[in-house]
């Protein structure tokens, strides 16, 4: 068998270098642990970037996919499939949305949301000069539409021109949003909890004021819950904590727990004026295999009461990270909710990227969010004992150069 280094060297010869990967080749996983080719164990507080909510080696999940593989994997959206119907019913049931379009990824869900908003506005007045307001420091994906509403110039600049008529406001600053609104504004898009931007939850008053503004002016509110949705915040969707609903919702990551599936959803009011046959499509999106995964994920969320565990362990994680901040002066802030939390480091004292590298060497998987924040987005099945073990390993990483 080849060594881990041999595989890494081969990868560097054939894979496009768009990621600075950690020098690890994972072989298998079990629960909240991953194991590399050498058999080394890692405690996973990344979950494949908030994807593997139910952990690794989940027998019921694996069996559901195996059964669907043996039955039918793909037919295209020219036909109906029972898994797609069941998955759509389950998603509308937990989200309060009315209509679902399945995609292959979160970025594609954002693309669909943008198109839906613009088509809604076009249907109303026949104009094509509508504007969308996005948030500074946001992240919505790497495709051209998703990149256009991502509020980080350094990500957009090499790929100009972006799609037109996008404006940017400051997250959690309602006056900043209001200053960008014109009679051409058709949608406001934001993450309910900014992820890549540094783990910033929307303030209660901010999100409610934006919702009220959208209602008054018939502007569509698009909430991106690709990372913070599916139970991660302690609610099935983070917006539930604010007592509001979006007009369009995007999901992915944990909705399939590993298979490539996302979705954009909308209210019936939006659907009545949005996409019609010929406006949008996907060959693979929502095929029987990925929708069988969605059905199984949502079944386990309910049967295992995943939200209860998120709220209990999320509160415990918050307490432990607060204590950690008191012990280390390099930690300048701590924020988040549920199992999407982050600590901010003083870059003059500790580099977040180096701490993450140290952690990998110690057997802990954590990742950054931006340049100075360490992000904690573990599988939603973690225990308090796992959190205690993580803190021990994190301290080792913080104390090394």
| Domains in the chain with CATH codes | 4-58+305-399 (3.90.1150.10), 72-303 (3.40.640.10)
Q: What are phi and psi of 230, to 5 degrees?
A: 55, 45
317: left (phi over 0), alpha (psi -120 to 50) or beta: alpha
Gap between the Cα atoms of 164 and 162, Å rounded? 6
Gap between the Cα atoms of 281 and 284, Å rounded? 9
The predicted pLDDT at position 58 comes to: 97
Q: Of 350, 365, 330, 316, which Cα lies nearest the Cα of 21?
A: 365
Gap between the Cα atoms of 264 and 58, Å rounded? 26
Task: Provide CB contacts within 8 A for 104, sequence distance 6+.
Answer: 260, 261, 262, 282, 284, 285
Gap between the Cα atoms of 150 and 275, Å rounded? 23
Distances (CA, A) of 273 to 51, 220, 380: 32, 12, 37
Give the Cβ contact number of residue 208 at 10 Å: 15
Q: What are phi and psi of 208, to 5 degrees?
A: -65, -40
The predicted pLDDT at position 392 comes to: 98
Walking along the chain (401 residues) 10 residues at a time, the average pLDDT comes out as 94 95 97 98 98 97 98 96 98 98 98 98 97 98 97 96 97 98 98 96 98 98 98 98 98 97 98 96 97 98 98 98 97 98 97 97 96 97 98 97 84
β-bridge partners, 134: 168
HSE of 398, CA atoms in CB hemisphere, 13 A: 20
The predicted pLDDT at position 401 comes to: 84
Q: Find tokens 């406006």 and name the residue.
A: 279
Q: What are phi and psi of 96, to 5 degrees?
A: 80, 5
Name the token pair of 167: 């404006």
Gap between the Cα atoms of 128 and 39, Å rounded? 57
Q: Find tokens 């954590």 and name the residue.
A: 366
The predicted pLDDT at position 275 comes to: 95
Beta strand ranges found along 65-175 (DSSP E):
99-103, 131-135, 166-169
The predicted pLDDT at position 1 comes to: 80
**Contact of 194 with 188, CB cutoff 8 Å:** no
203: three-class secondary structure by DSSP: coil
357: three-class secondary structure by DSSP: helix
Gap between the Cα atoms of 146 and 105, Å rounded? 11
Evaluate the CA torsion angle 111, 83, 47, 237 in order and state its sign.
positive
């Amino acid at each position: 068998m080849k060594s881990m280094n041999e595989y890494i060297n081969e990868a560097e010869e054939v894979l496009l270098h768009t990621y600075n990967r950690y020098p690890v080749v994972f072989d298998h996983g079990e629960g909240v642990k991953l194991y590399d080719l050498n058999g080394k164990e890692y405690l996973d507080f990344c979950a494949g970037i908030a994807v593997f909510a139910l952990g690794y080696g989940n027998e019921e999940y694996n069996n559901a996919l195996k059964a669907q593989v043996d039955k039918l994997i793909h037919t295209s959206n020219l036909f109906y499939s029972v898994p797609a119907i069941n998955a759509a019913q389950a998603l509308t049931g937990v989200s309060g949305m009315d209509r679902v379009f399945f995609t292959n990824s979160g970025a594609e869900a954002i693309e669909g949301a943008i198109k839906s908003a613009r088509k809604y506005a076009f249907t109303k007045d026949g104009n094509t000069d509508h504007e969308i307001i996005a948030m500074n420091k946001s992240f919505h994906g790497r495709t051209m539409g998703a990149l256009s509403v991502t509020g980080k110039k350094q990500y957009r600049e090499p790929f100009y021109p972006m799609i037109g008529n996008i404006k940017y406001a400051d997250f959690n600053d309602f006056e900043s949003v209001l200053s960008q609104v014109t009679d051409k504004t058709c949608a406001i898009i934001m993450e309910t909890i900014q992820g890549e931007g540094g783990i910033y939850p929307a303030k209660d008053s901010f999100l409610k004021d934006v919702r009220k503004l959208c209602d008054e002016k018939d502007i569509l509110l698009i909430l991106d819950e690709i990372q913070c949705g599916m139970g991660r915040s302690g609610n099935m969707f983070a917006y539930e904590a604010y007592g509001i609903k979006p007009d369009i919702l995007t999901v992915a990551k944990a909705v399939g727990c590993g298979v490539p599936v996302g979705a954009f959803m909308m209210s019936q009011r939006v659907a009545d004026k949005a996409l019609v046959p010929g406006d949008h499509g996907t060959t693979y999106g929502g095929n029987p295999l990925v929708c069988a995964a969605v059905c199984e994920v949502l079944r386990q969320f309910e049967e295992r009461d995943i939200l209860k565990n998120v709220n209990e362990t999320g509160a415990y994680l918050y307490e432990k990270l607060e204590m950690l901040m008191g012990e280390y002066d390099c930690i300048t802030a701590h924020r988040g909710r549920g199992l999407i939390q982050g600590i901010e480091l003083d870059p003059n004292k500790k580099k977040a990227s180096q701490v993450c590298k140290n952690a990998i060497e110690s057997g802990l998987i954590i990742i950054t969010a931006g340049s100075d924040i360490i992000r904690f987005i573990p599988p939603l099945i973690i225990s308090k004992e796992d959190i205690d073990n993580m803190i021990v390993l994190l301290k080792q990483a913080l104390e090394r150069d």
